[in-house]
Amino acid sequence: MVLVLVHRIEELELRLGMNSGNSSQPPSADGPGDKPAKTPRQRSGKKRGAQAGHTKVERPLIPTEQCDDVQHHKPEQCENCGLELSGDDPDPQRKQVVDLPPVRPIVTEHQIHTLTCPCCGTRNCGQLPEHVPRGCFGPQVVATVMMLTGLGRLSHRIMAELLLRLFGLEIAIGQVSRLQRIGCLALHPAREEIAAHVRGSAVVNVDETSWRQDGRKAWLWTAVGSLATMFVISVSRSRGALQELLGAAYQGIVGSDRYSAYSDLPDDRHQFCWAHLLRDFQALIDRGGASVGIGERLKSAGQQLIHQWNRWRAGEISRTTFRRHYLDLRNSIMDALIDGQCCGHAKTEDLCRRLINHNYSLFMFAETDGVAPTNNPAEQSLRRAVIFRKLSFGTESGSGSDVITTTFSVVETCRRLGRDAHTYIREAVEAHFQNLPAPQLITQHP
């Protein structure tokens, strides 16, 4: 009984010491006194900001003929003798000031006439062209609402107020939801295109975070392919949700953390995230006792392995040199894990044993081109969504979740492709209003 209580106390003390540096806990959840361990770096002694001798970056001037207005400022008389001056400087100093024009809505009135045939008396009613929206707002308004949703992360009330203050566009809060649904329908083909591209990628990074839908617990999943990023909200965090995200037939490589939903993935198709592993190794160091030496060996070798991989990716060393470093460091890591299996601490032994059993998933990035050692692409794609969740507390319905995931998917994919998201969304909405096929989103090849 006493032994059970001692283990329980040790477990609770470890939980109290958990932070973003030794667990999967996000930095935002750290307490005021929590200071995650950082790799020591020697300070340069220089002040922050630009250093002496750096190349100054200035806004380039556009050609004079492209300016909307050109104003000339000439001296009227000589500063020395007072003689009146005239003429032009062939090479004047140029200064350009960029400003935004006042924006107001463009209102187009469509008058539908009904005319009576003088011959037979039939009343004939005019028809609206295909490009005219059936509602009160055009494609630019819908695209702007979708952009404020995807990039601004604004509530409906703030969005309506912002449209009024910036553009003089008076719009009801409920109308914002309607415009979002129109935009979601217009972007549905793009979302299908993104899903097909992600599920066809050879390597995908996957992550998930908690969400609220209709006041209930849900999960926002993201899958980052070679060119596209997909978001899905599911009520489950299970293996079934992962299969629904990637498709049952997906045979590519998945980069992720070691959450249980990914445990069914074969070792030769699963890359463990080394950012999470390094935090796990820091937890061994913080655990004390026999775990300290094991944790230090694993963390040091792991950091060196990532460093050498980054050097190879940057072209600083050859593939042959990297592989030599990799083989030495892999042996060091495996030796530390083997020693950790019998260090005397049950949790440390269990971690080492599980990593040995799945050791192929530790080193896929070193053996296979295109695989990253960390799950940073997926985690970075979730950051804006997490901020949205903190501001809005999630979504109120399944249709709201569809709007959010569709908008996030298109905006994030446009960012990765270097495309202007607002332009693409406007073109998609215009095509939707005219019953035309949506414009293709992904025109590049992986």
pLDDT at 124 over 90: yes
The pLDDT assigned to 96 comes to 92
Residue 215 burial (C-beta neighbours within 10 Å; 0-12, 13-18, 19+)? exposed
Cα 334 → chain centroid: 34
Mean pLDDT rounded to a whole number for the chain: 87
pLDDT at residue 363, as a whole number: 93
Query: Is the model's pLDDT at 33 over the cut of 70?
Result: no
- In tens, the pLDDT along 145-164 reads 999 888 777 888 888 999 99
pLDDT digits (tens, 9 = 90+) for 318-346: 999 999 999 999 999 999 999 988 888 88
pLDDT confidence bin for 353, thresholds 50/70/90: very high
Q: Identify the pLDDT of residue 391.
A: 81
Pairing verdict, β 253-256 and 203-213: parallel
Q: 14-28, 44-58, 241-255, 347-361: which has the minimum mean pLDDT?
A: 14-28
Are 416 and 225 within 8 A, CB to CB? no
Nearest to 201 by CA among 177, 226, 219: 226
From CA 408, how far away is CA 429, in angstroms rounded?
Answer: 16
The whole-number average pLDDT for the span 119-147 is 89
CA separation for the pair 188, 185 (Å, rounded): 5
Contacts of 8 (CB under 8 A, 6+ apart): none
Q: Which of 9-13, 147-151, 285-289, 429-433 has the lowest mean pLDDT?
A: 9-13
How do residues 391-419 score in pLDDT, each as one tens digit? 877 888 888 899 999 999 999 999 999 99
Rounded mean pLDDT, 179-183? 92
Lowest mean pLDDT among 44-48, 181-185, 306-310, 379-383: 44-48
Which pLDDT score is estimated for 9? 67
Confidence tier at 65 by pLDDT (50, 70, 90): very high
For the full predicted model, state whether its pTM sits above 0.85.
Answer: no
The pLDDT value given to residue 32: 54
- pLDDT for the residue 327: 94
